[in-house]
Amino acid sequence: MSEEVMVRLDEVSRVYRQGTNEVRAVDRVSFSLGAGDFTAICGPSGSGKTTVLNLIGCLDRPDEGRVFIEGRDVSSLSSGELARLRRDRIGFVFQSYNLIPVLTAAENAAFVLELQGRGREEVRRRVAEVLAEVGLADLGHRRPEDLSGGQQQRVAIARALAPEPAIILADEPTANVDSATADGLLDLMERLNRDRGTTFLFSTHDERVMKRARRLIRLRDGALEADTTAS
Amino acid sequence: MNGRLLFIVRLAVKNIGRRYQRSLIMVGAVAFAIFIAIYYAALTEGLLANTERNAVLMESGYIQVHAPAYLEEHDFYQMVSDPDRVVRAAATYGLAAAPRLFGFSLAALGDNSAGVEVRGIEPSLEDQVTRLSAHLLEGAWVDQRQGVVLGNRLARKLGAKIGDKLLLLGQAADGSMANDLFRVRGILKPVTSEIDQGTVIMSAADFRRFFVLPTGVHEMALGGRNLDRKSLASISAKLAGRLPGLEVKSWRELSPVLARVLDSTKGSLFVMLLLIYAAMAILILNAVLMGVFERIREFGVMRAVGLPPIAVFLLVLVETAILTLLGGGLGVAVAVPLIIRGETHPIDLTALAADASTIAGVAIDPFWYTRLTWEVVSVPFELMIVVALVAALYPAGHAAFIKPVEALKND
Amino acid sequence: MDSLFITKTAWRGVWRNRRRTLITLSSVAFGLLLSVTFTGSADYAYTNMIDTSATMGMGHVSVTALGYNRSPSFAKVLTGCGRIMAAARELGVRAARVRISGQAVFGAGGRSNDGQVIGVDPARETPEFNVFIRKIIKGRMFTPAETRGVLVGEVMARRLKLAPGRKLVYTLTDRHGEMVSGVARVSGIFRTGVIEADNGVVLLPIARLREILGYHQDEASMVAIFIADQRRSGPVRDRLVSILGDGEREILTWHETQADLAALIAMDRAGNYLMQFLIWLLVAAGIMNTMQMSVMERRRQFGVMQALGMGPGRIFHLIMTEALWIALCGLVAGALLTAPPYLYLRNVGLDLAAVIGTDYSAAGVLVDPLLKVRLFPERAVFIVVFLFILVLASALYPALAAARTRPLVAMRHR
């Protein structure tokens, strides 16, 4: 694990007000993620895991505290700059419905690269590379509807990987697949983390995922309950 | 069965309320289409009524009586024998009879001259049959003083203004040269191209003096109350029976071209409505189809739970019917006040067409009035319901015959 | 982002739901069919009427003395006809005719009738530019030798009991305001089908009229000019004005000389366009509805795209590109749908005589009961451009809605 800090949360809160009621979905949470981390955030439903992921992913803004991505304070960024930050530095793997149905697996994988405006040759090369990495080298031409759940998730991982982001955020990536496929996905992500040093942050309530993570951040009612690192 | 139908209707209403955004869109589209259809129908009715009015109430009256062959030959000496008989016969059908005299002369004013048809009328009787006296552009109508009223174009051709002295030269009944000066009392608005281009109207007394024709009448124009097509035909026939030796013709027979034009315009109105509705039908088909596909799971559940296909079919149709009725009602509610206003506040087209134009010889004003009749509202409305239900047939059928297993797979 | 990528993605997005897209395309095609047919049939009818009306007297462009159009009289004399004819030839118009015209009273056998006299040169007049000669039903046109010949309309002939060979007396006021008369023998009888003309127009030899009215050889009432394309009446008039210069004359187009025809055409065209517009509005409503639904269904997808870093501008661009594809495909579908009926109507036409008869006249011109179409290039361009603008405009609101989806909210769906 290197010392480069990818993500830092500093007393971050996300508060929802309903009239006089105040709900703290995230309550003064602080932690840092370094390059190459393989971390899971867990907790019962309603504990704020997804919200923390959204805050790190710059899909949401904190009401209190600050979020730093590669040293940059995201609160100072406009929505356009945030979009570019997401595009270039953050990868997303959602629980389901990750892919654009009308595009092939290869085109889905290429999506962020296309957003970045890279040349056709470069895109082609990188897509072939990441598809091979996730074990889908020959399935690039298939559409999502012709891929299994596990294969779709792999394409999502390939897409997240392609622009070489600072961190890949995965929101319950194994929730919608059977256990054998889940294992396969976790193996893949572990390998990517080990061989390429890709930083991963999962949110999960799946025991298997939690077991595999090297660091476990536990939330309860929006607040940090525990932050343990496996030895 | 009734209980089941009521259940379906309640379910339909609930469904509509639940998906109110979708429902609103369809109601809006139907309302818009109906509004256009009704308003267009009202405009067409207005145009037709206006044209018919111009022809009938301004000029010909509903029925005319002549000596046989007068219409063909316009012989000055072919007169209606015993005009009183005609007046009496007309009275039995509640119609007034206005006598008219026709002659030719040359009209001259300054450098300009024109051949004109001189028309002698009895102002008080004429007023009972036509509204020509109220159709003046400027000046006053004919009365007991010596004076003439000119057709619109004729006045312009001669360069005549109110107060000018117009010279008329003609051949009198006794063969002598008739000539006299007449003061221009009034100028008409456009009526028919014949009147506009070459008619000079004067009192019957002036006419008889000028043409030396003490007695006799060339034409009796009958009118005074509204005659629809059926009564026009029947009364005309009956009068013909009561007046042997005279030729009795309705305005439709006198102006067959105009009659045909008015009839065919109604036909083309129908074609227009069909086109509007075709566009609307595609819209409805689309909306209902989408509505069905969105809820395919729901329908699958209904069928799985045991609702027979016919019930699902009816459900979609009832939903469509309710939305269509709502939309139609809304469209009517918006259109009718506008139409009522349009009856007195016409669309002003004078920017496009400063002159009146003519159709089949009758002037059409560059002002477009609407006219509200029961059919103007009912025909588009009924047509809309038919079109909407037909458009909904395919989606309803599709919903009714889904296999529950297939449907539940979705979503 | 590579615009090829957006174009490709948009294309696939459009065809994702084939049935819905086909319905949308069919409504666009329908709109196109309607527009082409309405516009084309109107333009054909108008051109027909304008050309016919031109042959009824004053041509597409007419040169007269000042004030003649307003109130025609024999006192308003046009001089220098030779020079005007030369100018017309220089412009390369299809034809130019010198004519004398004014009001007269006609009498025969004790009966009289009023109407208009048109003096024409039988050596130069042809059926092509003279509807009265074209529609002779009895007898024939008078020859240059027959100085006392006359051509009369059918209705007037009936009223005055005229047949070829019978005598007709005409009375008019000459250029000094004096009443003068002439006698002629009927050479032929015409039937245009328009009562106002058949009862009101008489053709006489121009030489005889010059004699009677005291006109010089180079004088007449008008020079009537005929052109191939009535749409060019204005430009031709302008060029004629520049050639002939200012003078004691009036150079008018048919808009002014046939004002009621122009008025009728203007009103009819307005109604026509209004109807087309309303139908397109319905089509637009359908497209907007469809696209809105299609956008709402893909809300989550747009959320994901935004999460990945695709800006609202690009998403807007994507939806608008879908609309562009719809417009293009709709245009193609419309062209396919429209081509057969258009070709049929262009070459064969639809005979509506049973509906409107063969004697329907409007603004004093006979309306041909044969429904044909004639789509001028600029109109076709306009319709196509309008189609595109309409489809794109319909997509604006859904495109904006798509661009404005907030990723978090959107991804909560499905």
Q: What is the DSSP string of B340-397?
A: HHHHHS-EE-TTT-SS-EEETTEEE-SEE-----HHHHHHHHHHHHHHHHHHHHHHHH
User: B165-171 and B357-359: which strand pairing?
Assistant: unpaired
Exposed / middle / buried, residue B385 (Cβ in 10 Å: 0-12, 13-18, 19+): middle
pLDDT in tens, C48-92: 999 998 998 889 999 999 888 887 888 889 988 999 999 998 888
C112: distance to nearest CA of chain B, Å? Answer: 6
Amino acid B222 reads L
Which among C70, C179, C283 has the least Cβ separation from residue B156?
C70
Do C10 and C127 fall within a single domain?
Answer: no
Of B94-108, B349-363, C239-253, C275-289, the range with the highest mean pLDDT is B94-108
Mean pLDDT of chain B: 85
- Report the pLDDT value the prediction gives residue B409, as an integer from 0 to 100: 64
Instruction: Give the C-alpha separation, C196 to C201, whole Å.
Output: 8
Do C204 and C302 fall within a single domain?
Answer: no
Locate the chain A residue with the closest alpha carbon to C407.
A59
* Confidence band, pLDDT 50/70/90 cuts, at residue A18: confident
Window from B133-137, B274-278, C100-104 with minimum mean pLDDT: B274-278
Residues of C with CB under 8 A from a CB of A: 1-2, 5, 9, 12-13, 16, 300-301, 304-311, 314, 407-408, 411, 414
A231: distance to nearest CA of chain C, Å? Answer: 34
Contact: C308, A100; criterion CB under 8 Å: no
Instruction: Give the C-alpha separation, B34 to B47, whole Å.
Output: 20
Give the list of residues 6+ apart from residue C224 with CB closer than 8 angstroms, or none.
C54, C57, C58, C59, C62, C96, C97, C99, C129
Q: Taking the mean position of all CA atoms in its chain, how far away is CA B329?
A: 25
- Tokens 């227009």 locate to B272
Instruction: Give the C-alpha separation, B284 to B29, whole Å.
Output: 8
DSSP B171: E
Chain C residue numbers with beta carbons less than 8 Å from the beta carbon of B193 are: 196, 364
Chain C residue numbers with beta carbons less than 8 Å from the beta carbon of B157 are: 70-72, 103
Locate the chain C residue with the closest alpha carbon to A119.
C2
Window from A80-84, C140-144, C362-366 with minimum mean pLDDT: C362-366
Do C284 and C347 fall within a single domain?
Answer: yes
Which among A60, A83, A114 has the least Cβ separation from residue C2?
A114
> What percent of chain B is modeled with pLDDT above 90?
23
* Mean of pLDDT values over A215-220: 91
Q: Of C257, C273, C297, which residue sits at a domain end?
A: C257
Do C117 and C226 fall within a single domain?
Answer: yes
- Tokens 């010596």 locate to B146
Contact: C263, B353; criterion CB under 8 Å: yes
* Confidence band, pLDDT 50/70/90 cuts, at residue C292: confident
Do C268 and C373 fall within a single domain?
Answer: yes
Give the largest Cα separation in chain A, rounded.
57
Amino acid B75 reads D
Which among C71, C113, C200 has the least Cβ separation from residue B104?
C113
Structure token pair of residue A215: 């660091």
Instruction: Give the C-alpha separation, C48 to C368, whole Å.
Output: 8
Contact: A101, C414; criterion CB under 8 Å: no
- Neighbouring chains to C with at least 3 Cβ pairs closer than 8 Å: A, B
pLDDT at B407 over 80: no
* Confidence band, pLDDT 50/70/90 cuts, at residue B352: low
* Mean of pLDDT values over A63-87: 90
Contact: C159, B72; criterion CB under 8 Å: yes
pLDDT in tens, A142-153: 999 999 988 999
* Confidence band, pLDDT 50/70/90 cuts, at residue B354: low
Do C277 and C241 fall within a single domain?
Answer: no
Chain C residue numbers with beta carbons less than 8 Å from the beta carbon of A159 are: 308
Which among C9, C13, C307 has the least Cβ separation from residue A86?
C307
Nearest C-alpha neighbor of B273 from the set B281, B284, B283: B281
- Report the pLDDT value the prediction gives residue A17, as an integer from 0 to 100: 86
* Mean of pLDDT values over C241-252: 85
Q: Do chains B and C touch by CB distance (3+ pairs < 8 Å)?
A: yes
Cβ count near B292 (within 10 Å) = 23
Which residues constitute the domain of residue C114? 59-257
Do C239 and C269 fall within a single domain?
Answer: no
Within C192-295, strands assigned E span 201-205, 222-226, 249-253
Chain C residue numbers with beta carbons less than 8 Å from the beta carbon of B117 are: 114
Contact: A115, C309; criterion CB under 8 Å: yes
Contact: A97, C300; criterion CB under 8 Å: yes
Do C81 and C222 fall within a single domain?
Answer: yes
User: B219-223 and B96-109: which strand pairing?
Assistant: antiparallel
Q: Does B146 touch chain C (CB under 8 A)?
A: no
Instruction: Give the C-alpha separation, C133 to A223, whole Å.
Output: 102
pLDDT in tens, B310-322: 888 999 999 999 9
- Neighbouring chains to A with at least 3 Cβ pairs closer than 8 Å: C
Preferred mutation among C168, C265, C279 to probe B, highest tally of B CBs within 10 A = C279
C26: distance to nearest CA of chain A, Å? Answer: 23
Instruction: Give the C-alpha separation, B18 to B9, whole Å.
Output: 14
Contact: A117, C1; criterion CB under 8 Å: yes
C282: distance to nearest CA of chain A, Å? Answer: 29
* Mean of pLDDT values over B231-236: 89
Contact: C356, B104; criterion CB under 8 Å: no
pLDDT at B2 over 60: yes
- Report the pLDDT value the prediction gives residue C207, as an integer from 0 to 100: 92
- Report the pLDDT value the prediction gives residue C133, as an integer from 0 to 100: 92
Cβ count near A198 (within 10 Å) = 23
Q: Which of residues 333-372 of B touch C (CB under 8 A)?
A: 349, 352-361, 364, 366
pLDDT in tens, C375-406: 999 999 999 999 999 999 999 999 998 998 88
Instruction: Give the C-alpha separation, C343 to C31, whole Å.
Output: 18
B411: distance to nearest CA of chain C, Å? Answer: 8
pLDDT at A2 over 60: no
- Report the pLDDT value the prediction gives residue A1, as an integer from 0 to 100: 47
Q: Does A200 touch chain C (CB under 8 A)?
A: no
What HEC string does A19-76 produce? CCEEEEEEEEEEEEEECCCEEEEECCCCCCHHHHHHHHCCCCCCCEEEEEECCEEHHH
Q: Do chains A and B touch by CB distance (3+ pairs < 8 Å)?
A: no
Do C301 and C204 fall within a single domain?
Answer: no
Chain C residue numbers with beta carbons less than 8 Å from the beta carbon of B285 are: 23
Which among B106, B113, B357 has the least Cβ separation from residue C267?
B357
Do C253 and C275 fall within a single domain?
Answer: no
Contact A122, A110 (CB under 8 A): no
Within C1-145, strands assigned E span 61-65, 95-108, 111-120, 136-139
Exposed / middle / buried, residue B267 (Cβ in 10 Å: 0-12, 13-18, 19+): exposed
pLDDT at B162 over 50: yes
Structure token pair of residue A62: 């904190």
B154: distance to nearest CA of chain C, Å? Answer: 9
Sign of CA dihedral C303, C307, C310, C313: positive
Instruction: Give the C-alpha separation, A168 to A130, whole Å.
Output: 14
Domains in chain C, number: 2
Contact: B73, C264; criterion CB under 8 Å: no
C300: distance to nearest CA of chain A, Å? Answer: 8
pLDDT at C44 over 50: yes
- Beta carbon pairs, B and C, within 8 Å: 183
Nearest C-alpha neighbor of B125 from the set B89, B153, B98, B144: B98
Query: In this predicted complex, what is the ipTM?
Result: 0.90
Which among B197, B276, B290 has the least Cβ separation from residue C293?
B290
Chain A residue numbers with beta carbons less than 8 Å from the beta carbon of C407 are: 59
Do C385 and C340 fall within a single domain?
Answer: yes
* Mean of pLDDT values over C157-162: 89
Contact: C307, A120; criterion CB under 8 Å: no
Give the list of residues 6+ apart from residue B306 with CB closer than 8 angstroms, or none.
none
Q: How far is CA C295 from CA B43, B280, C122, C301, C307, in A?
A: 39, 22, 73, 9, 17
Locate the chain C residue with the closest alpha carbon to B175.
C110
pTM of the model: 0.81
Amino acid B148 reads V
* Confidence band, pLDDT 50/70/90 cuts, at residue A158: very high
Contact: C307, A87; criterion CB under 8 Å: no
> What percent of chain C is modeled with pLDDT above 90?
52
pLDDT at B383 over 70: yes
Which among A54, A92, A97 has the least Cβ separation from residue C308?
A92
Q: Do chains A and C touch by CB distance (3+ pairs < 8 Å)?
A: yes
Instruction: Give the C-alpha separation, C56 to C226, whole Å.
Output: 11
Give the list of residues 6+ apart from residue B53 with CB closer than 8 angstroms, or none.
none
Tell me the DSSP string of C1-36: --HHHHHHHHHHHHHTSHHHHHHHHHHHHHHHHHHH
Beta bridge partners of B168: B107, B180
Structure token pair of residue A159: 């897409």
Chain C residue numbers with beta carbons less than 8 Å from the beta carbon of B36 are: 278, 281-282
Contact: C12, A114; criterion CB under 8 Å: no
C163: distance to nearest CA of chain B, Å? Answer: 14
Angle, helices C259-297 vs C299-307, to 10°: value is 70
pLDDT in tens, C172-225: 888 887 889 999 999 999 998 888 889 889 999 999 999 999 899 999 999 999
B98: distance to nearest CA of chain C, Å? Answer: 24
* Mean of pLDDT values over C225-231: 93
Do C347 and C305 fall within a single domain?
Answer: yes
Q: How far is CA C319 from CA A107, B330, C313, C325, C394, in A?
A: 18, 32, 10, 10, 11
Chain A residue numbers with beta carbons less than 8 Å from the beta carbon of C305 are: 100, 111
Contact C339, C373 (CB under 8 A): no
* Mean of pLDDT values over B180-203: 90
pLDDT at B81 over 90: no
Contact: C408, A60; criterion CB under 8 Å: yes
Give the list of residues 6+ apart from residue B192 with CB closer than 8 angstroms, or none.
B54, B55, B58, B59, B358, B361, B362, B363
Locate the chain C residue with the closest alpha carbon to B410.
C414
Preferred mutation among A78, A115, A121 to probe C, highest tally of C CBs within 10 A = A115
